């Protein structure tokens, strides 16, 4: 797996089922990332400077920091 160059700050780049790295609110100070598959996109606006907020299949909620490209 390789990190893709797509921007996690743009809603158009994120779709349900996509593998991403998020930072949860309680991990913002440490920057700890959580990997998972997007279940729902929670941010309604087309972009957000801190990353689009999503809910993962595991139920965890956070802002997308990286989009993982499984094909590489």
3-state secondary structure the chain: CEECCCCCCEHHHCCCCCEEEEECHHHCCCCCEEEEEEEEECCCCCECCCCCEEEECCCCEEEEEEEEECCC
pTM: 0.87
| Residue pLDDT, tens place only, 15-28 | 999 999 999 999 99
* CATH number of 63's domain: 2.30.30
Mean pLDDT computed over 20-44: 97
- Domain holding 57, by residue range, is 2-69
Q: How many domains does the chain have?
A: 1
- Report pLDDT for 6: 72
């Amino acid at each position: 797996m390789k990190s893709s160059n797509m921007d996690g700050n743009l809603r158009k780049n994120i779709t349900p089922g996509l593998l991403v790295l998020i930072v949860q609110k309680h991990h913002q100070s440490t920057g700890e990332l959580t990997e998972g598959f997007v279940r729902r996109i929670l941010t309604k606006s087309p972009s957000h400077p801190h990353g689009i907020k999503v809910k993962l299949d595991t139920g965890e909620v956070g802002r997308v920091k990286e989009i993982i490209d499984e094909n590489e």
